[in-house]
Structures are given as C-alpha cells and as structure tokens.
Amino acid sequence: MSSDSKVVTQITETTVSTGLVTNENKMTYIKVKRNITNSEQDVIMNGQVFEDVQNFRYVGALINSINVISVDIKSRITAGNRCFYSLRQIFRSRTLSKAVKIKIHKTTVKPVAVYGSETWAMTKMDLNRLGTGENKILKRIHGPAVEQGIWRRNNQELGGAI
C-alpha cells in the first residue's frame, strides 16, 4: 500500500469515526514539496474526486505547493493597495489633515498589508517590497514638495518605512 493510499484510508476512517461528511465541491488538497514538479494527481476517496491545487488561501495566508513566502507577501501588498485605493476619496480630501490621513493609513491600510507578517521568513527583497509599497502610499498622502522650483519627495522625509 502506497503512502498516498494510507493517507486516504486514514482520512476516510477519521471522517467516518467523527461523523464528518466530505464534500467533493468544497474540498481540495495540496502537497508541499521542495522542488517544482507538475505531478498533479487527483485523489479519489469513497467515490469522490478531490483535486490537487498549487495554492490556496487559509486564514488569510496564501499557501503554495513549493512553500515560497514571497507569493503571500506580494498578495498582501496588493491587498494593502486595494484597501488604500478603496479609500482614495478620504486620502484625496482637502478637509482632512495629513496627521489624520496617516492615522487612517496606520489603522486601516497597514494592518491589511502586514497581516500575518509575524510568521514570515522574509528576505531583503521582500522587506524592500513592503517598504516600497508603504512609501508609495505615504508619498500619495504627503504629496509632492517644491524646493527651489523642483518637485520632489524623498523617502527620508516620509519616515514611515516598515
């Protein structure tokens, strides 16, 4: 008996003994592997076919089959950008001060972007991506600065890098 069939048998026995019902439409599985292989194989259990997936979202984290955290970090940065742009009318408002906009950023946008970051093993490139994403948003909040007729805004003036 192969290891895959042992796992399927164990899952079947556990679900039956606990009274759980498996749903073919809702259940998928993923094999985490060290190297990239295209060995997608569906599992058949009690006549139901469960598909093998390359990645899925679990409790907000994007889990993939080759166990690379950069994919999750990119998706969190994208989620932070979506959050920022969904609030763009607030950030464009001239009636709100920069201090209020920065508080809104820290309480709504930043938590979306760094959710689950405590468990990330980040590389320097991942850290730079997060910092770049935050600086992009802070530059939008602060706006450009004019110095001797030259429009500019540098990252040291923003002071909010992750």
Can you tell me which residue has the tokens 């969904």?
86
Q: How would DSSP label each residue in 72-92?
A: HHHHHHHHHHHHHHHTHHHHH
pLDDT, residue 87, reads 94
Which residues, 6 or more positions from 64, have their beta carbon under 8 angstroms from its beta carbon? Answer: 30, 54, 55, 71, 72
Task: Check residue 108 and give left, alpha or beta (phi > 0: left; psi -120 to 50: alpha).
Answer: alpha
In this predicted structure, the answer to whether residue 14 has a pLDDT above a threshold of 50 is yes
pLDDT, residue 41, reads 66
Under 8 Å between Cβ of 42 and 50 = yes
> Using CA atoms, how far apart are residues 144 and 81, in angstroms rounded to an integer?
19
In this predicted structure, the answer to whether residue 137 has a pLDDT above a threshold of 70 is yes
In this predicted structure, the answer to whether residue 159 has a pLDDT above a threshold of 50 is yes
pLDDT tens-place string over residues 66-116: 777 888 888 889 999 999 999 999 999 989 998 999 999 999 999 998 887
pLDDT, residue 161, reads 46
User: Would you list the domain boundaries of the chain?
Assistant: 3-58, 69-158
